[in-house]
Structure 1
């Protein structure tokens, strides 16, 4: 699917996505035209999905991160869909994952401080539909956070 040039482009692109085409082309050893054409092809094939800005939420005053493991009422026909739809409406929920097994979903939640988290938990999280159990795991330290793929 990918040749050596595509892999080189992807490695360089993910290491410095903000660099201009000319700079990136030089680092990849191709012309800007070739780079542009290959990036377009990688986007069309779905290999490159998006370029996005990543905002450090801690720099904006959020200091609490909690992972909530949620068990849902599986007897309700649309429990997963309704839970997810409502959870998406909570701005402090940064991530929603679903699982097969004892835990049905995981929410990654941020808050400004413990008081804000407590209010958020009582007013918004506990109001989410179809929850039968929720377990909170308070984040202490991030030991690795890397979206760079081994290409």
Structure 2
């Protein structure tokens, strides 16, 4: 575990709130100079605490009004490799996340679609035809609130 001081945690909270902020803006918000803030941000990147910055898209505004979480259990017959399944499912553009999990299912996928009939098309023609797919359970997302999680 990496030791973080109070300023590091405050900087991370600012970055989680809005990762597009400059070191200068973060410094102003926290009462730090731009160079001191920049050095701390660089140190956090170098230590691997900040792994990158991602663009968050509004899927609904892009025409993808349905999000579905799929639990996928691989079939035991034929024993397709996990890597083969992950590579094949990752090639489907509607699949936003692929999580290998422990529990009733082997994988949890987040799939976006234009509507329910579009999701059915993706499910039938793309996901169910993947090598090794056995049982699938779908849960349609009704609403979502993102939480930043604990920092230190």
Question: Please, what TM-score do these two structures have when normalized by structure 2?
Answer: 0.89
CA distance in 1, matches of 2:81, 2:134: 11
> Which of residues 1, 23, 37 is equivalent to 1:21?
23
What is residue 57 of structure 2 aligned with on the other side?
A: 55
In the aligned structure 2, how far is the partner of 1:135 from the partner of 1:17?
34
* SS of equivalent residue, structure 2 residue 61: helix
RMSD across aligned positions (CA): 1.6
Structure 2: how far apart are the matches of 1:12 and 1:114?
37
Deviations 1:25-48 (A, max 9, x none): 111221111111111100000101
Give the TM-score, by structure 1 length.
Answer: 0.90
After the TM superposition, which residues 33-44 of structure 1 pair with which residues of structure 2 at under 5 Å, given as runs?
Answer: 33-44=35-46
Partner of 1:119: 121
Alignment partner of 1:96: what SS? strand
2:73 pairs, out of 71, 75, 79, with 71
Distance 2:59 2:135 in 1: 28
Cα distance change of structure 1 residues 16 and 137 upon mapping to structure 2, 3 Å threshold: closer
How many residue pairs get aligned? The number is: 149
Q: CA deviation at 1:78?
A: 4.4
In the TM superposition, what is the alpha-carbon distance from 1:75 to its structure 2 partner?
Answer: 5.3
Report the Cα distance in structure 2 between the residues aligned to 1:97 and 1:73, rounded to whole angstroms.
17
Displacement of 1:119 in angstroms is: 1.4
2:106 maps to what in 1? 104
In structure 1, the gaps of 5 or more residues are: none
Aligned residue for 1:82, secondary structure, equals helix
Task: Verify the 8 A CA contact 1:73 1:79 in the aligned structure 2.
Answer: no
Structure 2 runs not aligned, ≥5 long: none
Matched residues in 2 for 1:140 and 1:5: separation?
37
> Aligned equivalents of 2:136 and 2:94: distance in 1?
17
The answer for the alignment partner of 1:131 in structure 2 is 133
